Structure 1
Amino acid sequence: MQKSPSRRRSRKSRKVESPKREGQKKRRRFLPSFNFNSQPQTPNIKTRLLIVWGVLVAAGLGLGMNLYNLQIVQGPKLKEKARNQQMVNLRPFVPRRQIIDRNRTVLAIDRPVYTVYAHPKLFNKSNQEIAKLLAPIVDKDVTELKNKFDNKKSGILLASAMPEEIANRIFALRLNGLELIQKYSRFYPQQDLVAEVVGYVNLDRRGQAGVEYSQEKLLERSVQAVRLSRTGNGSLMPDYAPDGFPYSDDLQLQLTIDSRLQRIARAALKQQMDKYSAKRGAVIIMDAWDGSLLALASLPTYNPNEYSKADISLFKNWTVADLYEPGSTFKPLNVAIALENGVITANDTFNDPGYIQVGDRTIKNAENKSYGRINIAQILQHSSNIGMVQIIQRLQPSIYYGWLEKLGLGQAVSTDLPFVVASQLKSQEKFITLPIEPATTSFGQGFSLTPLQLVQMHGALANGGKLVTPHVVKGLVDSKNQMHYTPTRPAPRQIFSSITAQQVVEMMETVVADGSGKASQIPGYRIAGKTGTAQKASSSGGYISGARITSFVGILPVEAPRYVVLALVDEPKGANAYGGTVAAPIAKAVMEALITIEQLPPSQAIRQ
C-alpha cells in the first residue's frame, strides 16, 4: 500500500526543520513564565540577615552553655573519668617473707611455680612424639599422655604447681602448644621437720596454722597500690612509675628454733614411740633465761607442702592446744611452793608407810611401795605420793590455791604460737572445802595444763624463780643479720626466790643421780630431772583404764641452770612403760646434742 504524497511531504517538511529551531523549542518548554509587570516576591535582605544572625547567636549560646556544663558543672567528674581511663591502680605481687631458724636455715619461702597446659591442636610434632618428650618431665605414662592429646585438642592440664627447675626443662624443649603460667607458691624446704611450729599457707595465701597463722602481719609485706599511666592500647608506661617501684624489703622472720636440735629431738622421740607403740609424743627445749624455744617437736606430724593430704587434727599443735595431767613432774613445783612458804625445810623428813587416808579416800604410791622415813630429796627420787601429800597438808588450802593461780593454773600460757588453751583448776570453793583436792594436786593430778605451760613453770626453777614467756619468734632480720623488729613480751614475773629455786634444782639432781631418772645421766654433767607416769583422764570423767602419759623434765647444768627439756610420750604400750624408761632416754639424747651445740663445758664439781 502506498502512502499519500501529502503525508510524505509533511514528514519531509518536519525533517528539514532546522536543528537550531528544534533546540529552541525544547528550551522554551522548560523555561518558567515570569510576569515582568508584578513586584518581586523574595524576602527582605535585612530580615534574612536577622534570621541568620539569630541562628548564629542561638548556636553560640547553646555552645557556651554546653561548654559551661562540660567545663564547670561536669568538669571534675569528667576529669576523673578521663584519668581513670588513662591511669591504672596497680598493687604488685610481693612474695611473703621467708621464715628462717636461729641459724638462718630456710624453713618457709615463696617460690615461682607453673601451671602447665597442653594444646595439641598447636603441636608442631605428632602427639606420640610430644608425649615421649613430656612423660619423664611431668612423671606420667607416655600412652596416658598420648591418649589425652588424642581425645582433647586444647586446655589439657599437665601440672598445677610445677617447680621452676622442672619448668625450665620444658622451656628448653621449645615446643609449640605448651602453655606455662607462672604463679607463686609457699614452699617448706624442711618438709615436716618444723611443721608444728611453722604451719602452712592455703591456696589463698593465708596462714592456717603455726606462725604462718599467728604472725600473718609480720609475714605479709605492706605494699601500697600505685597509679601508673597507660597508653591507648592499655600498655603500662614505666617511665611514669614512682621512684623505687616496685620495692621489696629483704626482711625475714627469724625463729628461735634450732633445726639441728629439732631433728635430733624428732629422731629420738620417734625411736621411743616406735619401740613402745605410743599414740603420740612431744619434746620441748626452752632457754629459761629468756623463754626462747630451741626445739618443739611432736609426732605424728604432717608435710606442709602436702597439707591437703594430712589429718586436720595435726594442724593444731597439741603441746599448746591439748591439756593433760602432769603427774609427778609437777612435784618439784609443789616442793618449791612449800619451801617458799616456810612450811618445810630442805632437811625435813617424813614417814612414808605406802598409803595415807584423806577424808574417805585412800591414797597410795605407785605399785603400793612404801619408803619409810625419807627426806624431801628422797621424796622426789622415789616419786613418793605419800610424802607429797604430807608436805602440802602443812599448807592452808587457800594459800596453796593462791600459789597455783600465781603459777598460772587456770589461765592460758602467753606465747606466740596459735590455738593456745587455758589450763584447768578446780573452783576455789571446791578446792578449799574438799581435802582430797589439795592432796591429789600435790602429786600432779586433779588439774590439767599444756606441756608448754609445764615447761614454763620449770623454767622458773631454772632461772632463779622467774616466770618467762615461752616464744618461737625472734624478730624481723635483714640479709646482713641486722634485727629490725623484736616483739614486745610481758616482763618476767618473780615467783620463787633464787635460793628456793636452786634448792629444788639440786634436789632434782638426786633423781637423776640416784632415783628414777638414771636413764638421763650424762657423764661429766650435772643434770636435774623428774620423771612422771600419770593416769590419763577421760573426757567423760575419771581415768582411762590402762592409759598413761609418761614424761621426763630435765634442767641443766645444775651449777648454772639455764635449759629446760621436756620429753612426753602419750599411751606407750608395755609393762615397763614409765617416765624413767620411755621419756628419760629421749631427754638424754636431746641434752647430749644441746651440750654439743651450745658448747656447754663439763661441770666443775665433777671435773675436780
Structure 2
Amino acid sequence: MGLSWKLYQLQIVQGAELQKKARSQQTVNLRPYIPRRSIIDSQGNVLASDHLEYILYVHPIQLKLPKEEIAAKLSEILENQTPQQLLERFKERKTGVVIARGLPEGVTQRLRKLKLDGVELNEAYARFYPQEQMAADIIGYVDGDRHGQAGMELSQENLLERDLTSLYVRRTALGEIMPAFLPEDLLKSNDWQVQLTLDMRLQRAARSALQQQLKKFNAKRGAVIVMDSSDGSLLSLVCEPTFNPNQFYKSKVELFKNWTVSDLYEPGSTFKPINVALALEAGVIEPNSVFNDSGLVTVDGWKIYNASKAGNGNINVAKVLQVSSNVAMVQMMRRLSREDYYNRLQKLKLNQKTGIDLPGEASGHLKSKDVFTSQGIEQATTSFGQGFSLTPMKLVQLHGALANGGKLVTPHLVRGLVDVDGNLHWKPNHETHSIFPPKVTQQVVNMMETVVNSGSGEVSKIPGYRIGGKTGTAQKAGPRGGYLPNAKITSFVAILPVQSPRYVVLVVVDEPKGGNTFGSTVAAPVAKLVMDALISLKGLPPSK
C-alpha cells in the first residue's frame, strides 16, 4: 500500500513537474555559428567569404616541459618568431598568451602533432577577401566584431547577416544528440550568396590601365566606371589608390571611401553633351544650328575664352563638341531663359543622390534659383560644366540617360541573392525617370561620335566600332572658393556602340602632372583600353 501511494504521488501528483524537469535535462539549446553571406561577382568569383582560421595560445602556468624547449619547438613551425621572442611573450601573463592568429590548416596540423601541455589551438571564423585590392573600394571590410565598416560590407549589412537560429534538440543520458530530434530544415544553413553585377575580368583590365596612367602622369588619384545603361548595373568600378581589406588596419582612413560617390567635382566639358540635350529638347537649337565662335565672349564683365584661346569661326553643334568650344556653348544656352535653364537642370536631379547601393554618397550642388537667375555669369559657366558640382557617379547616370533613350536609371552593384547553382531568388527594385525624349538622345550620341572620329577624342577610336565620346579638362575648385592654381581634373566619357547605345565608360584622373595633361591625353587612352576589354568580354560585334 505504501509503494502504491508513492507511485501515485510520483505518477499523478508530481508527474507533470517531474516530466518537465526530465525534458529540461534532455534538451540542449544549440546556437550554431552562422557565417556572413559570401559576396560573388557576376561570374561567380568569390569576393568576400568567411573562412575558418586558428589562434595559437600558450598557458605558461600549464607548461610541463622547460619553456626554452617549448619555444624552440614552436619556432620551428611558426614563421618570423624566434625562440627568444617566444620566451619574451611567455612572460606577458601566466595564461592565455596569444602567440599567432590566422594560422592555416597545414601549420595547425604540425602544431597538434607536438601534443604539448599548455599549448592550445582555438578555432575562429574570419572574413577573407581573396581578390585583395582588386575590389576593395567596392567590397569594403569588416572589423574585429564582424561589423561592416566600408563598402558593400557596410551598406548591405542586412543582406550579408543571416538570422541566428536557436535550435532545441533532445539528447541521451550520455549527452549525445538524438538524431531523430534533429530539425533538418533548421540545421540546413541558408546557402544564398550576394551576387554583384561586377565583372572581375573587366575590373582587372580597368585597374591595370588606370594604374599605368596614374604612374605616367604622377597623378593624385583616378577612377574608372563602366555602367550598363539599360538597367544601371555597374560592370566595373575602380578607384586608385586603394587598400587591402585583409589588412585594412595598415591603410589610411581616406582610402576606405569610394570617392566616385562621396566626392564632388566640376565636370567641365564632359557635361556639354547634357547641355546640348537640354537645348535640343527645349527646341532652341537644331542639330544643324550654327554658332559664331570668335574665341571670346564677355558676360557680366567676365571674359570667357576657349581652352585653346583661339576662335573656330562658324561651327555647327557637332563641331562645338568636337572642338569643345566654351564660347559657342555660352551662346547656345543663352537661348534659354535663365529660369527655364535652371528648371531643366533641376529635372536632371543634380541636387539629389543617384541612389547607388554604396555608403557615403554625396548630393550634387547647384546654386539656388535666386542666385542662378540673378546673374548671367552663372548660366554662362554652367554651359561649359563649371560653377556647379556633382559626383563622377552622377555624371555616369546622366550619360546613361543619353545612351538608353532618356531614362535616368539607378546605378547599382547588387544583382541579388543567388543559390549555389546561380539561381536568382531575390533582386532589388530600382526607380527610373524619363528626362529626355529618345530622338534627342540619339542625336546627341551621334554628335559625340564625331568627337571620337575627328575631334578631341580621336585617341579612343577603335577600328570597326562606332563610339561616342567627350573629353573634359576642368579647373579644380578650392575649399574656400575660386580655383586651385596648376590643379585640374581630366576626364573622358564614352558611349558605345553608337548604333545601339548601351554602355557608358567614364575615366577621371585627378591632378595629373606635366604640360600635356588634358582629357584627350590622360583619360581617353585609359578609356580605350577599358573599351577594348569590354568589347572582348561582351562579344560586341563590329559596327556595320
Question: What's the counterpart of residue 31 of structure 2?
Answer: 91
User: Which secondary structure does the structure 2 equivalent of 1:263 belong to?
Assistant: helix
Question: What's the counterpart of residue 302 of structure 1?
Answer: 243
Question: What's the counterpart of residue 58 of structure 1?
Answer: none
Between the aligned residues of both structures, percent identity stands at: 54
Picking from 465, 468, 478, the partner of 2:409 is 468
Q: Which amino acid aligns with 1:220?
A: E
Deviation for aligned residue 1:161: 2.5
Q: Which has the higher contact order (CA 8 A, sep 6+)?
A: 2
* Change in CA separation of 1:113 and 1:402 when aligned onto 2, cut-off 3 Å: same
Deviation for aligned residue 1:524: 1.4
Question: What's the counterpart of residue 420 of structure 1?
Answer: 361
Question: What's the counterpart of residue 84 of structure 2?
Answer: 144
Q: Deviations over 1:148-202 (max 9, x none)?
A: 4774765332112223343234334444442111011000000011011111111
Deviation for aligned residue 1:386: 0.3
Q: Which amino acid aligns with 2:168?
A: R
Q: Which amino acid aligns with 1:592?
A: D
Q: Please tell me whether residue 353 in structure 1 is matched to residue 294 in structure 2.
A: yes
Q: Please tell me whether residue 376 in structure 1 is matched to residue 313 in structure 2.
A: no
Q: Please tell me whether residue 187 in structure 1 is matched to residue 128 in structure 2.
A: yes
Deviation for aligned residue 1:300: 0.9
Task: Please say if residues 228 and 502 of structure 2, whose CA atoms lie closer than 8 Å, have aligned partners that are also in contact.
Answer: yes
* Change in CA separation of 1:543 and 1:172 when aligned onto 2, cut-off 3 Å: same
Question: What's the counterpart of residue 557 of structure 1?
Answer: 497
Deviation for aligned residue 1:237: 6.2
Picking from 518, 523, 526, the partner of 1:586 is 526
Question: What's the counterpart of residue 333 of structure 2?
Answer: 392
1:232, 1:332 → 2: CA distance? 78
Q: Please tell me whether residue 488 in structure 1 is matched to residue 433 in structure 2.
A: no
Picking from 229, 232, 235, the partner of 1:288 is 229
Picking from 182, 189, 192, the partner of 1:251 is 192
1:579, 1:171 → 2: CA distance? 60
Name stretches of at least 5 consecutive residues in structure 2 with no aligned partner: 1-9
Q: Please tell me whether residue 454 in structure 1 is matched to residue 395 in structure 2.
A: yes
Q: Larger C-alpha radius of gyration, 1 or 2?
A: 1
Deviation for aligned residue 1:127: 4.7
2:528, 2:114 → 1: CA distance? 54
Deviation for aligned residue 1:124: 6.7
Q: How does 1:53-72 map to 2 (within 5 A)?
A: none
Deviation for aligned residue 1:233: 9.2
* Change in CA separation of 1:109 and 1:404 when aligned onto 2, cut-off 3 Å: same
Q: Please tell me whether residue 524 in structure 1 is matched to residue 464 in structure 2.
A: yes
Task: Please say if residues 228 and 238 of structure 1, whose CA atoms lie closer than 8 Å, have aligned partners that are also in contact.
Answer: no
User: Which secondary structure does the structure 2 equivalent of 1:368 belong to?
Assistant: coil
Q: Please tell me whether residue 514 in structure 1 is matched to residue 454 in structure 2.
A: yes
Q: Please tell me whether residue 202 in structure 1 is matched to residue 143 in structure 2.
A: yes
Deviation for aligned residue 1:224: 2.4
* Change in CA separation of 1:169 and 1:384 when aligned onto 2, cut-off 3 Å: farther
Question: What's the counterpart of residue 223 of structure 1?
Answer: 164
Q: How does 1:13-162 map to 2 (within 5 A)?
A: 87-119=27-59, 127=67, 130-135=70-75, 137-145=77-85, 147-148=87-88, 151=91, 154-162=95-103
Deviation for aligned residue 1:400: 1.2
Q: Please tell me whether residue 411 in structure 1 is matched to residue 375 in structure 2.
A: no
Q: Which amino acid aligns with 1:494?
A: S
Task: Please say if residues 102 and 258 of structure 1, whose CA atoms lie closer than 8 Å, have aligned partners that are also in contact.
Answer: yes
Question: What's the counterpart of residue 505 of structure 1?
Answer: 445
2:364, 2:439 → 1: CA distance? 28
Task: Please say if residues 68 and 87 of structure 2, whose CA atoms lie closer than 8 Å, have aligned partners that are also in contact.
Answer: no
Question: What's the counterpart of residue 38 of structure 1?
Answer: none
1:157, 1:215 → 2: CA distance? 33
1:301, 1:542 → 2: CA distance? 29
Task: Please say if residues 276 and 572 of structure 1, whose CA atoms lie closer than 8 Å, have aligned partners that are also in contact.
Answer: yes
Q: Deviations over 1:453-510 (max 9, x none)?
A: 10000001111111111100000011111111111111x2221111111111111111
* Change in CA separation of 1:289 and 1:242 when aligned onto 2, cut-off 3 Å: same
Deviation for aligned residue 1:144: 2.7
Q: Please tell me whether residue 571 in structure 1 is matched to residue 511 in structure 2.
A: yes
* Change in CA separation of 1:177 and 1:324 when aligned onto 2, cut-off 3 Å: same
Q: Which amino acid aligns with 1:402?
A: N
Question: What's the counterpart of residue 318 of structure 1?
Answer: 259
Q: Deviations over 1:582-602 (max 9, x none)?
A: 000110110000010001111
User: Which secondary structure does the structure 2 equivalent of 1:566 belong to?
Assistant: strand
Q: Which amino acid aligns with 2:208?
A: A
Name stretches of at least 5 consecutive residues in structure 1 with no aligned partner: 1-66
Task: Please say if residues 322 and 454 of structure 2, whose CA atoms lie closer than 8 Å, have aligned partners that are also in contact.
Answer: yes
Question: What's the counterpart of residue 281 of structure 2?
Answer: 340
2:469, 2:538 → 1: CA distance? 19
1:95, 1:240 → 2: CA distance? 24
User: Which secondary structure does the structure 2 equivalent of 1:391 belong to?
Assistant: helix
1:586, 1:165 → 2: CA distance? 43
Question: What's the counterpart of residue 32 of structure 1?
Answer: none
1:82, 1:401 → 2: CA distance? 77
2:265, 2:169 → 1: CA distance? 58
* Change in CA separation of 1:584 and 1:129 when aligned onto 2, cut-off 3 Å: same
User: Which secondary structure does the structure 1 equivalent of 2:248 belong to?
Assistant: helix
Deviation for aligned residue 1:92: 1.5
